[in-house]
Chain A
Amino acid sequence: MDHSATTAVDPAVVEAMLPYFSEKFGNPSSLYAIGRQARRAIEDSRQKIADLLGARKEEIIFTGSGTESDNLAIKGIAYKNRKKGDHIITSSIEHHAVLRTCKFLETQGFSVTYLPVNKEGTVNPADVEKAITPKTILISVMHANNEIGTIQPIEEIGKIAKEKNVPFHTDAVQTAGKLPLNVESLGVDLLSISAHKMYGPKGVGALYIRKGTFLEPQLHGGGHERNIRSSTENVPGIIGFARAAELARERLLQEQKIAGLRDSLIKGVLEIKDSYLNGHPTKRLPNNANFRFSFIEGESLLLNLDMKGVAASTGSACSSTSLEPSHVLLAIGLKPEEAHGSLRLTRGLGNTQEDVDQVVSVLPDIVNKLRMISPLAR
């Protein structure tokens, strides 16, 4: 149950992609038949991605990943508007693709405000408003957090951004295909998504850019993607992304219903003594549950779950290469030792009530076993 990390490619997506590796291998920039065929396929795909977001086809740019979309949105706006101002507002719980891009821009002379979140992981729109200065050129707040699942009040922030005339970007990598997305009602000018989180292939993402919002390209070359992102198009990837988007739209209602599985998991796990839910109790991704267990460490939990056939993820430093506990868990006010004891379970389409029951049945013994070993549990 670690589907926020990535998902398997839907067989229907693979089927849609396959011809574009072989008989339909044309370069969309070529003017002869198979080139034109690839060009048409890309433009159809662009429409399908636009449909998922309630956007117009010409507002979608294909990229190589969600990370690239985030980078393009933030650096693109920053460099384009340097003469207007140098201030960026973001949150302290963004994905590293946003946070580290902002950190980089700080080294380039930009200044960044990292907004705090409350203990449920929510950004306060009033804080956004207060942070805006005449020098502010971009607001970037994620739609839902990848670790704790908290959904941000994007509509409210969007209204503020519009009022103050500041471009607004949201990283929707975790929500695309899980929540209905509409760029108009969200009030965003830029929105990043990625294919591999929604049963599409890895190596392809998209950036929605509202008509009238201008970016400095970050890849220069042959002028692909309206001169914003040069690179020969990843035709099979884009076709697969579009098919995944179509299927995701059809599944949206089902995704909402599946939130019931998440709630049953949360209820079952919280029966364990000294266990807590991280993130917002209701405003959270329909597939995300994130817990913390006092006195024990997350990697040990993961290894034990793995031995029982359950894949999960943790915010503990011990399972990362950085040796730092998750910045998100620290931002919601957890002590480092509490952050070390966190466990993220993210349900996917293949998961059933039986999977939930299995986790709920094996977890108490694992937690007890580790607490027996732990000097912190007394």
Chain B
Amino acid sequence: MTDGYSEKVMEHFASPRNVGEIKDADGIGKVGNPVCGDLMWIYIKVKDNRLEDVKFKTFGCGAAIATSSMITEMAKGKTIEEALKITRSDVAEALDGLPPIKMHCSNLAADGLHAAIKDYLEKSGKK
């Protein structure tokens, strides 16, 4: 069962980083669908155009939890522009790869981050 997951995926899954909500978040991205088995909420706090804090809550499989955890680490401290450039494959790569079947369904973290940034830009009237 764990054969398909890299050590890095298992490590992030076992001890996910930045779990939780940001109470006064500047943007929230909600992606996925519980019917499909994956639901991801990404919270961001923005200061001076940088992601000061990124947190997540996820319902889903090992890959869904590991990619959520990974993207919070990848995005923290980045500018909005830099964060928008993070792709699904960047996340998968940072985790030393994902099983092919998980690439599509559970690799939602980049989408979640982008949705949170979009939410922030809309709320702050920058878009």
A residues apposed to B, CB below 8 Å: 295-297, 299-300, 302-303, 306-307, 316-319, 321, 323, 325, 335-337, 340, 372-376
- Inter-chain contact B39/A300, CB cutoff 8 Å: no
- Inter-chain contact A303/B37, CB cutoff 8 Å: no
A316 in complex: contacting residue of B2, B13, B14, B61, CB < 8 Å: B61
CA–CA, A125 and B87, complex, Å:
54
CA–CA, A318 and B60, complex, Å:
8
Decide: A297 near B61, CB < 8 A? Known: A316-B37, A340-B34.
yes
CA–CA, A37 and B57, complex, Å:
65
Decide: A375 near B39, CB < 8 A? Known: A299-B61, A306-B1.
yes
A376 in complex: contacting residue of B20, B34, B62, CB < 8 Å: B34
* Consensus secondary structure, chain A interface: helix
B57 in complex: contacting residue of A297, A307, A318, A374, CB < 8 Å: A374
Interface size on B, residues (CB 8 A): 30
A311 nearest CB neighbor, chain B only? B1
C-beta contact mask, B70-92 vs A, less than 8 Å → 1, else 0? 00000000000000000000000
Q: What 6 pairs across the A-B complex have the smallest Cβ distances?
A: A318-B61, A337-B34, A299-B61, A375-B57, A336-B35, A340-B37
User: Residues of A contacting B13 with CB < 8 Å?
Assistant: 300, 303
CA–CA, A321 and B65, complex, Å:
19
B105 in complex: contacting residue of A323, A336, A372, A376, CB < 8 Å: A323
User: Residues of B contacting A323 with CB < 8 Å?
Assistant: 36, 101, 105
A321 in complex: contacting residue of B59, B61, B101, CB < 8 Å: B101
CA–CA, A233 and B38, complex, Å:
47
- Inter-chain contact A319/B1, CB cutoff 8 Å: yes
User: Residues of A contacting B59 with CB < 8 Å?
Assistant: 295-297, 337, 373-376
Of A296, A316, A318, A323, most B-chain CB atoms within 10 Å: A318
- Inter-chain contact B62/A303, CB cutoff 8 Å: yes
B19 in complex: contacting residue of A302, A337, A373, CB < 8 Å: A373
User: Residues of B contacting A373 with CB < 8 Å?
Assistant: 16, 19, 56-59, 65
Decide: A300 near B65, CB < 8 A? Known: A307-B14, A336-B34, A337-B35.
yes
User: Residues of A contacting B38 with CB < 8 Å?
Assistant: 297, 318
Cβ of B106 < 8 Å from any Cβ of A? Answer: yes
CA–CA, A131 and B109, complex, Å:
48
CA–CA, A241 and B96, complex, Å:
44
CA–CA, A318 and B59, complex, Å:
11
B101 CB to closest chain A CB (Å) equals 6
- Inter-chain contact A303/B1, CB cutoff 8 Å: yes
Of A297, A302, A337, most B-chain CB atoms within 10 Å: A297
A305 nearest CB neighbor, chain B only? B1
User: Residues of B contacting A302 with CB < 8 Å?
Assistant: 1
User: Residues of A contacting B30 with CB < 8 Å?
Assistant: 375
